[in-house]
């Protein structure tokens, strides 16, 4: 069993739809990252959070420490949001664990 | 430059040779991370520096891998006696503080694509 589980693995949405990607983890963490990897391979760190909720533009990330769960939401999705979204956690021993990613395709 | 810079962008080497990968973090960032992504695999954490010290080396896959950081800035990742399974994209990231101290975004470089023939 992986320490970090993401769902869904693949997601196709119509432009404008509200999207949710989920991440569950089994280790005690000090922080959780959401990363975005574009088809060309470039990786952008979207959020790093340890509690509550963060918002940046159309992206919202939430985390529930008690339930060991985080969600990444995209409002008013756009084709340029098409990418792989990766959840990564930093445990209390400073070790990273990565989810296998969610491949998102937004259709015009 | 304003971002994290990695060099070379591409490296092709023969099995058994040593390679050095370089990362220039954003000026003033104290934390530096190395990851790799093998074909079809997820991101794999390798090592993390806070200043010049490496609190966590547990991700290094074997003793052929080593990394150092001097002056709290540039870092080099060295792979000795490369094997074909070392072929991957090696990514470097930096953040202002990092580790368990605070909430910091990591800024990624474009990566070095290593191919071991």
Would you state the pLDDT for residue A5? Answer: 92
* Rg of chain B in Å (alpha carbons): 13
Mean pLDDT of A23-38: 88
Would you state the pLDDT for residue A93? Answer: 67
Query: Using CA atoms, how far apart are residues B106 and B71, in angstroms rounded to an integer?
Result: 20
Mean pLDDT of B77-96: 92
Beta carbons within 10 angstroms of residue B1's beta carbon = 7
Q: Does A12 touch chain B (CB under 8 A)?
A: no
Interface probe with A: pick from B42, B93, B104, B112, most Cβ of A within 10 Å: B42
Mean pLDDT of A32-54: 81
Q: How many Cβ pairs closer than 8 A exist between chain A and B?
A: 57
Task: Identify the residue with better confidence: B105 or A9.
Answer: A9
B93 contacts in chain A (CB < 8 Å): 45
Is residue B72 classed exposed, middle or buried when 0-12, 13-18 and 19+ CB atoms within 10 A define those classes?
Answer: middle
Would you state the pLDDT for residue B103? Answer: 46
| Number of helices followed by number of strands (H, E) in chain A | 0, 11
Is the pLDDT confidence value at A36 over 80? Answer: yes
Is the pLDDT confidence value at B58 over 60? Answer: yes
Mean pLDDT of A68-77: 97
Would you state the pLDDT for residue B81? Answer: 97
Chain mean pLDDT for chain B = 85
Is the pLDDT confidence value at B41 over 80? Answer: no
């Amino acid at each position: 069993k992986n320490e970090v589980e993401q769902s869904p693995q693949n997601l196709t949405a119509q432009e404008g739809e509200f999207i949710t990607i989920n991440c569950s983890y089994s280790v005690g963490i000090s922080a959780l990252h959401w990363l975005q990897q574009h088809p060309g391979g470039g990786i952008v760190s979207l959020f790093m959070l340890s509690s509550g909720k963060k918002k940046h533009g159309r992206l919202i990330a939430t985390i529930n420490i008690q339930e060991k769960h985080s969600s990444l939401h995209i409002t008013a999705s756009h084709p340029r949001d098409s990418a792989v979204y990766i959840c990564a956690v930093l445990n209390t021993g400073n070790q990273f664990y990565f989810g296998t990613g969610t491949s998102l395709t937004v259709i015009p | 430059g304003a971002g994290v810079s990695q060099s070379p962008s591409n490296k092709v080497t023969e099995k058994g040779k040593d390679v050095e990968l370089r990362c220039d973090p954003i000026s003033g960032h104290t934390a530096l991370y190395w990851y790799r992504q093998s074909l079809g695999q997820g991101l794999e954490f390798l090592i993390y520096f806070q200043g010049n010290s490496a609190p966590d080396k547990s991700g290094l896959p074997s003793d052929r891998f080593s990394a150092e950081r001097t002056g709290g800035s540039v870092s080099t990742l060295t792979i000795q006696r490369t094997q074909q399974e070392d072929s991957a994209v090696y990514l470097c990231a930096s953040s202002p503080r990092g580790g368990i101290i605070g909430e910091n975004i990591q800024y990624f470089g474009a990566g070095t694509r290593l191919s071991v023939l």
